[in-house]
Amino acid sequence: MISLVASRDGGTTLTEGKVAAGFSGKRTAELVGITYRQLDYWARTDLIRPSLADAQGSGSRRSYSYQDLLELKVVKTLLDAGIRLEMVRDVFSYLRENLGADVASANLVINGSSPLLVSGEEIIDLIHKGQGVLNVLPLAGVKEELDNAIIDLFPSAEDRIQATG
């Protein structure tokens, strides 16, 4: 399990120790590498909503958690791999129902519309018994890319990213 203690949106200045409110919509899009329009569309259509503060009409602000960013990055990675958004929706709704929110390490394996979280060893079995298409995504790489993007934008926030699992 991995968590970011503090982010750098809102807050009067770049004061150390300030626990910010999360990531704004625009910043989230930047960090994840998607357009604001995509982020907006995905929120409206219930793919991924900001867990810290949802929109409440014009002028309000969405606020995304670090966990949200991770999930968004997973979506983006799957899209880049040529997977349809519809399938991504199925995957996430399934994961949310059948697993905790700790979609963190391990590998995401998609077979049809029933995804799994498995270790590297277990994947081999799946391939040998493999019927149909197997989509394999190592989540560690996703986290790494995201953290690099964050550090790239906020160099001093480096120490705030802590590995707990």
Task: Give contact residues for DNA (rule: CB under 7 A).
Answer: 10, 12, 21, 24-26, 35-38, 40-45, 55-62, 79, 84-86, 89
User: Binding segment for a copy of itself among 18-26, 32-40, 57-65, 130-138 (CB under 8 A)?
Assistant: 130-138
Contact between residue 47 and residue 89 where contact means Cβ atoms under 8 Å apart: yes
User: Which contiguous run of DSSP H or E holds residue 93?
Assistant: helix 85-98
Q: Judged by CB, which is closer to DNA: 41, or 120?
A: 41
Beta carbon of residue 114, minimum distance to DNA (angstroms, whole number): 18
Q: Using CB under 8 A, which residues numbered 60 to 119 contact a copy of itself?
A: 77-78, 80-84, 86-88, 90, 107, 110, 112-113
For a copy of itself (CB under 8 A), the number of binding residues is 30
* Number of CB atoms found within 10 A of residue 91's CB: 21
| Distance in angstroms (rounded) separating the CA atoms of residues 127 and 153 | 39
Q: What's at 44, amino acid-wise?
A: R
Contact between residue 32 and residue 47 where contact means Cβ atoms under 8 Å apart: no
Distances 77 to 40, 68, 154, 165 between C-alpha atoms, Å: 18, 14, 23, 23
> Site residues (CB under 8 A) for a copy of itself?
77-78, 80-84, 86-88, 90, 107, 110, 112-113, 120, 123-124, 127-128, 130-138, 141
